Homo-oligomer: A and B are copies of this chain.
Amino acid sequence: MLGEIIAIGDELTSGRVLNSTSRFAAAQLFASGHEIIAMTTIGDDEELIGRTLRLALERAEFVVVTGGLGPTSDDLTNAAVSAALSRPSTLYPEILRKIEAHGRHLPSERRLAMEKLAWLPLGAHALHSEAKSAGYFLVHAGKPLFFLPGVPQEMEELLLETVITRLAVWEGEEVRQVRQKLFKITGLAESEINRRLAHLEGEGQRLKIGYYPVFPEVHLSLTVSAPESREAEAIITESAARVAALLGEDCYGEGDDTLEEVVGRLLAERGLAVAVAESCTGGLIAHRLTRVPGSSAHLIGGVVAYSNSLKEQILKVNPETIARHGAVSGECAEEMAEGIRALAKADLSLAVTGIAGPGGGSEDKPVGTVWFALADRAGARSFLHRFPGDRHQVQALAAQTGLDLLRRHLLARRAARTDSGQN
């Protein structure tokens, strides 16, 4: 179907905030077989919202509107919809009850403001049964309109959970069955992935490959469509297997997987506990590992040894090592890894020390120089990387690379064990 996306918010038209939700919606809708005529971004202006909506209704078969649904006085979307489509604002008692139930602990002014969310244009259906977030659905002039919150996470959830399904149902019998699979890749540039998979794309319109750089990773979506569900399943299974084979270990996971989850899963499978010693990443690796529920089972903890004195005092790095090779060196990284492993009584440990910038670089060790070390009972090994970018990018790339080193190390160990089992 032909769709239009409208994003509402003064923060967008003033350039203060980058509109990433429209792009997310366009990519997902496109992958589900829809075509986007236009993506329009306008400010919080009741009359303009109404005019834009009416224009979209003229030229598109469905419309997705994001933003302006909140409880504050500059959230004007509902009022604009009511006025533009002559659908008076109506109290939805069921939504009100849910807001009251969820908002019991809120101060009364806050609760009163929230009540605004229970007033929707006549004919609206709440999209989320739990009323966890605003968002509704409306059929006008025979066309489906979706109104979603502007907060990216809420918007993305509702789009994936409800909008795409409702559009498929809407299309009725003529719906083409669409199947999608997402591959997550780290340590490989988009152009290299493209090169590996280019020959797959020539295989006709029923197979589409999309590349989404999500720094510091690349995500790849594989979309197939077919008239029948069984056929779609068969094509996606077969082509996903080919993509997986072409990507090999560079693909760390699929769908909702995160790198830290995959590392946690591998640690759990191997029955190993890990500890981390971080300098330039400042705790980011440990934090990413603790984002995974239940991570306390395989993460003992870590040390953020930002100063040399902490490296020496807690991690027992030899002061001579730092004097001779510098704190950013393979030698120091290995001693940090050995130190945290002994201190935390961990099976496996990871250490990172580098120069995140903007200062601190030299000709020998420019900004972006990062040493990693892994230690287990077989000893420690170190790895050197040079990352491009600013301080935040170097930190993010270093954390990502550290986690990926753990992942590849654990994969190799598993493979080794399987091999020896076969002998």
Contact = CB atoms under 8 A, between A and B. Distances in A.
B300 A309 contact: yes
A367 to B, nearest CB: 11
Contacts of A13: 26, 30, 35-39
Count of this chain's copies in the oligomeric assembly: 2
Interface string A23-53: 1111111110001111111111100100010
B395 A16 contact: no
Contacts of A283: 278, 282-287, 290, 302, 304
A380 to B, nearest CB: 20
A151 B212 CA distance: 10
Interface centre among A41, A71, A213 (most CB of B within 10 A): A41
Chain A interface size band reads: 35 or more
A73 interface: yes
Given A213-B151, A310-B301, A40 B39 contact: yes
A17 to B, nearest CB: 7
Interface string A285-321: 1110111011110011111111101100110000000
Interface in A215-230: 215, 221, 223
Contact of A73 (B17, B194, B284, B395): B194
Interface of A: 10-20, 22-31, 35-45, 48, 52, 55, 70-74, 107, 109-110, 113-114, 151, 180, 182, 189-192, 194-195, 198, 201, 208-213, 215, 221, 223, 276, 278, 280-287, 289-291, 293-296, 299-307, 309-310, 313-314, 343-345, 356-359, 391-392, 395
